[in-house]
Structure 1
Amino acid sequence: MPSSWPNIRLHGHDGDASILRVRDGLGAAFYMRRSHDDVKADVVRGLESYRLAIAPHTLGWYADDHGDWQPLDAGGWRFVEQRLSAPRETEITLLEDAETMTGYRFSYHGRWLEQPLHAGSTAVGFWLPTEDRGAELLRKAALEVATLLPFDSGHAGLCFQFTEDALGLTDGIRPLAFRYPGLDIPELRRDSLRLGTRLQGTHWMTFLGPTLLAGMGGVEALRNRLHSPGSLVEPLPSGRAVVTLGERPLAGDSRQGENMEAYRELARLLEPWMDLGRDAWDGFSEEDMRRWERRFLD
């Protein structure tokens, strides 16, 4: 692990046992303003691409209809296939480690967007631990999955890794979130309910769908407006693009004065298309939440 990446381990208790609940990690998310029925075949291909990318590591657990963790054996994969073939709406969560719920993880929230005034998106997210080749593996997996999904927006980079389903886990994150602005606090399920075609924020890799890219003037216009060393704009199929800030993601340790100017430059460019207005997390005031969302803008 690069020395500039933090080694975060926050534990909780299950009876007398101390259980790892929050750690540093790497993650990616893609949002599609399309209903589950329209993209489920693409999502199946995306899941298979992720599984191949992380091999020999495997996903070993899945959440059943009651939210309980079950072994991802042959019967478990039949359950996943049934969920993914369901009409209208569905969700799946697959894990490497059901005890800590960190490490390798894949989540999908398939929405039915035919309802009037629905502002959400169908969302795919996956995570992996930070390790020696973590950035290389994340970039490879994110680019491969991106080519399989008709995304409207997406991102990849460093993050706090924890499960959204557990309450109270963000309490201990607050001081670390302001110390390490390069770490996202993932909120895939909630973001999928409201994001539409807008952007979640600024990240190491920021994926732009056709609507966003056209609004910014296209690939060449983006290249002409980004001047920080290492900022790279690459075209993707179907009128999409990805902006990557350097060879690996930065945590931005404020105590070490780590330079995040490339992130600030991109944030200023992307601000008109950002969705800023998350509900405050546990341990965060509304003011904290706004300050964290605007950490590369103010």
Structure 2
Amino acid sequence: MEAYLAQVGPDTLRTYMADNGQFRPLTSKQISKDLRNLRNLPAGRDSYRILYNQGEEGEVGTHAIYFEGSSLAEPEPLPDKTHVLRLEFPPPPAGDEWLEPFIGFVSRIANLVPFQSGNAGFAFKHVGVLQSNVRKEINQLLPRYYGFDPSYDSARMKMRGRAFGAHWLTLLRTDLIQKLGGMEALRAALPRAELRPLDQGLLIRAARRPPLGDVNRQCADIGCMPEVARLLRPIRYEAKGFGQPQEVFDALAWLARYDDKASQPWDAP
């Protein structure tokens, strides 16, 4: 969180969600309080949630931080439970000058925390815990735009030992890499991807720029995301409906959308 705030500037985020669900002006005092509580949970509290937003009055803004996690005390009644951290940015500019600084920032974040898996690229935005209000609209767009993450937080909270699937940037912890056969197996399966070592794992870059994956344009910009998706199948998280019944939205089919699809040029415009 501190690294993100330093990256975007201290005045970018304007509001936070209080415990009663209301949005209030975000102050340096509130940030200090949250950081202190994250480092040492108050007595009697075993979980914590943070939502900082650039938008006001609950509106979706250009930037946001969403974190939800718990102490994961043993014995854990939900063995698949984990934490979720989402750091949001506005859509990227048209040029390529931002690419290397952004990928470097993602790598630095991954080296700061003991992550399990993660991804970066285009995603549908919503205001954290209010996602149920827009779930239907997001799910209607997912089948067209393969390159977008659904930002379905409930799934992220229940995928210990799993990955969510292929994205522009995919992050894997060392133990997940071993489940896939180790680094040599990854290099053999992803000859066209860029593989960047991290302190605790690996960053996989599937295309030069983050893909939209527009089905109406034959997904011409998805790079080697199909190859990444097929590699991740043994550890892929299996969801049911992304907030809707499976007969309304088949999340399993969406997660498998790349399995039988051909890869495209890595450096598509």
**Shift in Å, 1:261:** 5.4
Code of the residue aligned with 1:48 in structure 2: it is: E
Would the aligned equivalents of 1:206 and 1:244 in 2 still touch at CA under 8 Å?
A: yes
Alpha-carbon displacement from aligned partner over 1:256-297 (angstroms, at most 9, x marks no partner): 113335111111111010111243434973553222221112
Q: 2:158 aligns with which of 170, 190, 194?
A: 194
The 5 Å alignment of 1:49-64 reads 49-55=3-9, 58-64=12-18
User: 1:294 matched to which residue of 2?
Assistant: 256
Q: Match of 2:224, SS? A: helix
User: Residues 191 and 290 from structure 1, CA distance in 2 versus in 1: closer, same or farther, beyond 3 angstroms?
Assistant: closer
Would the aligned equivalents of 2:13 and 2:53 in 1 still touch at CA under 8 Å?
A: yes
Q: Match of 1:165, SS? A: helix
Would the aligned equivalents of 1:157 and 1:249 in 2 still touch at CA under 8 Å?
A: yes
Tell me, in whole angstroms, the C-alpha distance in 1 between the residues paired with 2:3 and 2:36. Answer: 19
Q: Tell whether 2:204 aligns with 1:251.
A: no
Would the aligned equivalents of 1:92 and 1:107 in 2 still touch at CA under 8 Å?
A: yes
User: 1:8 matched to which residue of 2?
Assistant: none
User: 1:111 matched to which residue of 2?
Assistant: 70
Q: Match of 2:135, SS? A: coil
The 5 Å alignment of 1:55-204 reads 55=9, 58-84=12-38, 85-87=40-42, 88-99=46-57, 100-113=59-72, 114-118=74-78, 119-132=80-93, 135-136=99-100, 138-166=102-130, 167-188=132-153, 190-204=154-168
TM-score, normalised relative to structure 1: 0.75
Q: Match of 1:50, SS? A: helix
User: Residues 150 and 280 from structure 1, CA distance in 2 versus in 1: closer, same or farther, beyond 3 angstroms?
Assistant: closer
Q: Match of 1:179, SS? A: coil
Tell me, in whole angstroms, the C-alpha distance in 2 between the residues paired with 1:144 and 1:71. Answer: 29
Tell me, in whole angstroms, the C-alpha distance in 1 between the residues paired with 2:66 and 2:41. Answer: 16
Tell me, in whole angstroms, the C-alpha distance in 1 between the residues paired with 2:246 and 2:90. Answer: 25
User: Residues 120 and 222 from structure 1, CA distance in 2 versus in 1: closer, same or farther, beyond 3 angstroms?
Assistant: same
TM-score, normalised relative to structure 2: 0.83
Tell me, in whole angstroms, the C-alpha distance in 1 between the residues paired with 2:90 and 2:15. Answer: 17
Tell me, in whole angstroms, the C-alpha distance in 2 between the residues paired with 1:63 and 1:158. Answer: 24
Q: 1:279 aligns with which of 220, 235, 241?
A: 241
How many residues align? The count is 248
User: 2:264 matched to which residue of 1?
Assistant: none
**Shift in Å, 1:134:** 6.1
The worse-fitting range, judged by mean Cα deviation, of 63-72 and 255-264 is 255-264
Code of the residue aligned with 1:289 in structure 2: it is: A
Q: Match of 1:272, SS? A: helix
Q: Tell whether 2:175 aligns with 1:207.
A: no
Unaligned 5+ segments in structure 1 are: 1-46
Would the aligned equivalents of 1:171 and 1:284 in 2 still touch at CA under 8 Å?
A: no
User: Residues 280 and 141 from structure 1, CA distance in 2 versus in 1: closer, same or farther, beyond 3 angstroms?
Assistant: same
Would the aligned equivalents of 1:109 and 1:192 in 2 still touch at CA under 8 Å?
A: no
Code of the residue aligned with 2:22 in structure 1: it is: D
Would the aligned equivalents of 2:207 and 2:225 in 1 still touch at CA under 8 Å?
A: no
* Higher-strand-fraction structure: 1
Q: Match of 1:206, SS? A: strand
